[in-house]
């Protein structure tokens, strides 16, 4: 049995930056408590390690006091959150992914210029909620083509951005449909280049193998999309969060592909691969 690992698997630049920002923080220099707004990344092992370091997820702004420290995660937050934190006099460590930061700037600028903002993405995802917070929560959030079909045509100026982990082909379709509805549609390419490489590689790898393993959190948007892409090409595709969730492979499985979401630590990927090798050796 042969294991083929995708080159672009595991932490992306933005997540790596956020995790290092948290773990390199010198707690002795902070007068109060250290919090993150929401889970720093979609990985329980990392969250557990942060808790051991004394970094907790913020439950309410009301618990904050002057001298506390708040880490803004890679997903980013809306403009109102910065205002709230500054009002309370806390130290802010901004670990927002630079790709997401760019979307914030686009949305704010275009909104001020009189454009209606359309976001292609999951309305419940923290990244999308944060982006919407830079146009005062007035964006139209689209998840699929049918929502565009239902819109009434208009002479509006529309600026369109996508959640960084979106599927490119679907984003292109959404934008083409929007152009038929509105007089002027300005599309911004905001899908993260690392996401594009990861998804393209997963697509190609899943077409060549007998089984595919996608490693990552089930609540991770980019991991779910990797799973969907692989499943379309390879029926024997499995989403696992760690080595203990690996399936028993069928005897006719000779090649297994491995990819991993942007929030999956290298240590977890290696554990899964080592465990698969042990399973193969035991089988033989």
- The residues annotated as belonging to the active site are 127
Tokens of 166: 């979106």
Largest Cα separation within the chain, whole Å, is 67
Residue pair 166/121 in contact (Cβ under 8 Å)? The answer is: yes
């Amino acid at each position: 049995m042969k294991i083929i690992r995708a080159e672009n698997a595991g932490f992306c630049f933005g997540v790596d930056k956020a995790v290092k920002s948290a773990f390199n923080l010198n707690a002795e220099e902070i007068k109060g408590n250290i919090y993150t707004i929401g889970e720093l990344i979609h990985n329980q092992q990392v969250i557990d390690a942060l808790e051991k370091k004394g970094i907790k997820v913020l439950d309410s702004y009301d618990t904050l006091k002057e001298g506390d420290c708040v880490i803004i995660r890679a997903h980013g937050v809306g403009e109102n959150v910065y205002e709230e934190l500054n009002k309370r006099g806390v130290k802010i460590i901004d670990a927002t992914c630079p790709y997401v930061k760019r979307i914030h700037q686009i949305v704010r600028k275009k909104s001020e210029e009189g454009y209606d903002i359309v976001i292609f993405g999951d309305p419940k995802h923290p990244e999308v909620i944060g982006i919407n917070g830079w146009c005062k929560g007035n964006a139209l959030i689209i998840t699929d083509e049918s929502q565009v079909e239902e819109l009434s045509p208009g002479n509006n100026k529309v600026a369109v951005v996508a959640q960084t982990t979106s599927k490119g082909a679907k984003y292109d379709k959404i934008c083409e449909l929007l152009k038929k509805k509105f007089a002027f549609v300005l599309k911004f390419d905001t899908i993260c280049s690392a996401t594009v490489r990861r998804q393209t590689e997963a697509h190609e790898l899943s077409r060549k193998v007998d089984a595919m393993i996608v490693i990552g959190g089930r609540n991770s948007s980019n991991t779910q999309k990797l799973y969907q892409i692989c499943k379309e090409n390879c029926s024997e595709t499995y989403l696992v969060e760690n080595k203990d969730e690996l399936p028993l492979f069928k005897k006719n499985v000779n090649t297994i592909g491995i990819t991993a979401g942007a929030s999956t630590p290298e240590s977890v990927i290696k554990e899964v691969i080592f465990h698969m090798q042990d399973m193969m050796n035991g089988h033989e």
